Chains A and B, each alone.
Chain A
Amino acid sequence: MSPLLIAQIGLTLFVFVMLLSSAAVMVYVERKVAALLQQRLGPYLVGPKGLLQPLADVIKLMFKEELRPRAADALLFALAPIISATCAFAAFAVVPFGASTTFFGLLKIPLRLQVADVNVAILVIFAIASMSVYGIVLAGWSSNSKYSLLGGLRSSAQMISYELSYGLALAAVLLVSNSLSVTEIVNSQAGSWWHVIPRWSVFLQPVGFLIYMTAGIAETNRAPFDFPEAEQELVAGYHTEYSSMSFAMFFLAEYINMVTVSAVATDLFLGGWHGPFLPESLGWIWFLVKVGALLFFYVWMRWTLPRYRYDQLMRFGWKVLLPLSVVNLLVTAAGVLYFGL
């Protein structure tokens, strides 16, 4: 095996472990930030400052009993969390998170910090996002419980509605950067205008960025769009009947999807690993900082805004967000055509 192949396999494993641990970190951050916003302490007993709390959570979930309702469809009930988790992991495969590196001269050919460099990467992300709805819908249907079914139906309606705006916001970025490869889109954002403003797409596409983040929150079913699992109405929505590790898989999928949406937003709108002060080989630090900021924004939103009403959500998606993203796309296309941005 060539060193590059070994490095590639190592990178794949690294991304896998990194995503798993990012979910653990996010669980801790979510609880700590929630506590901060609600003026309480949050977890502080397990480990220093409660840092081992996620580990305790995982151990607790592992030793819980795996329950399945008698009327549930056994095969699909088992399959649904697997679909959710697989889609969550798969989407990150095409997301680059740093410039090429040789690991301090260890490799002859520089290794790109991306699991798979596909030239239609954006569309792959979109395709996997559209597949992840099956995990939730099937979980809702196969549980054979009314709360689960309602949660599943709501989530599929929500994800179908917001996927359109999500895709159109992405399309506007593609027009500006003139490529479908995420690496090229990131590289087109290097440098700055007049040495002050970084050449990030967010400044060319402010509306697109807002649409993307809004639709991204809806796609990952987070508050204020967490209808599939609205506690007051649906107990826990599509995962009402799940326990133990199959519940943990849905939980994991939600956090990994958040990380993926933030990472894609960083790559497409916030200049990826480009930033001042650091050499390009350390660009991944900038990437981590930006993703971390977006994830904090996610948590902040959840504990600040109340949940919308279901009809408000649908009206907002179809009558505000979708027309806005169509107009944004048209204006961008006209701008690229007549001014050659």
Chain B
Amino acid sequence: MTGSPMLFYLFAAVAVGASLLVIAQRNPVYSVLLLIGSFGALSGLYVLLDAPFVAVIQIIVYAGAIMVLFLFVVMLLNAPHEDTDYDSHVHPLLRPGPMRFGAALALAFGVELVWALTRAGQSGAFAGGAVSSVAQIGHALFTDYAFPFEVTSILILVAMMGAVVLARRD
């Protein structure tokens, strides 16, 4: 770790705080912006981990490309205020359909998080500086991880074709 712990706590606090505020907003445009802030803080954490390439890619792909599309959709739908159509006194697990599903997902995620955190340190950590070199990342991507890489590209191709088919159906 090259940076000071202070910077780590700063970025971590911004990331967690912004992520929590994302779900606390009534206006979806603010949610999108807070999510961008959270991504920015995450990319700061990557820089501290000596992985500038990952940090910049995080900004380009998530903050720069995907979130622009999110913002686009939110603005075009023109739904600045989300109305809650459920009784806030009822326990989340007892609310109708999607709410119950979301609560179940959140629960599963919580269990997973506890499971992962109790096993900290056992993951296959990279050697120092292994992720800082673009050449090394490229090499690993096209040798050891060539199959997952190509499968992902097919997945994206399928999604693209789906979008074209949906857009042409009229």
Interface on A for B, CB 8 Å cutoff?
A: 73, 76, 118-120, 123-124, 126-127, 130-131, 133-134, 137-138, 141, 149, 152-153, 156, 160, 163, 180
CA distance A160 to B64 in the complex (A): 9
Closest 7 CB pairs of A and B: A130-B64, A127-B59, A123-B56, A127-B60, A120-B52, A127-B56, A141-B75
Question: Are B59 and A134 neighbours in the complex by a CB distance under 8 Å?
Answer: no
CA distance A138 to B30 in the complex (A): 11
Give 1 or 0 for each of B132-162: 1 = CB within 8 Å of chain A CB: 1010000000000000000000000000000
Question: Are B29 and A76 neighbours in the complex by a CB distance under 8 Å?
Answer: yes
Q: A134-B36, A153-B75 are in contact. Are A120 and B68 (CB under 8 A)?
A: no
Question: Does B72 sit within 8 A of A, measured CB to CB?
Answer: yes
In the complex, chain A residues whose CB is within 8 Å of the CB of B63: 127, 130-131
Whole-angstrom distance from the CB of A137 to the nearest CB of chain B?
A: 6
Considering residues B57, B64, B72, B134, which has the most beta carbons from chain A within 10 angstroms of its beta carbon?
A: B64
**Apart from A73-B29, A153-B72: 20 A-B pairs, beta carbons within 8 A:** A119-B132, A120-B56, A123-B53, A123-B57, A123-B60, A127-B63, A130-B60, A130-B64, A130-B68, A131-B63, A133-B68, A134-B36, A137-B68, A137-B71, A138-B33, A141-B29, A152-B75, A156-B71, A156-B72, A160-B65
Which residues of B25-81 have CB atoms within 8 Å of chain A's CB atoms? 29, 33, 36, 52-53, 56-57, 59-60, 63-65, 68-69, 71-72, 75-76
In the complex, chain A residues whose CB is within 8 Å of the CB of B53: 120, 123
Q: In chain A, what residue has the closest Cβ to B55?
A: A120
Interface residue tally on B, bucketed by range: 20 to 34
CA distance A130 to B63 in the complex (A): 8
Dominant SS at the A interface?
Answer: helix
CA distance A131 to B60 in the complex (A): 8
Which residues of B68-102 have CB atoms within 8 Å of chain A's CB atoms? 68-69, 71-72, 75-76
In the complex, chain B residues whose CB is within 8 Å of the CB of A73: 29
Whole-angstrom distance from the CB of B37 to the nearest CB of chain A?
A: 11
In the complex, chain B residues whose CB is within 8 Å of the CB of A152: 75
CA distance A120 to B59 in the complex (A): 13
In the complex, chain B residues whose CB is within 8 Å of the CB of A133: 64, 68
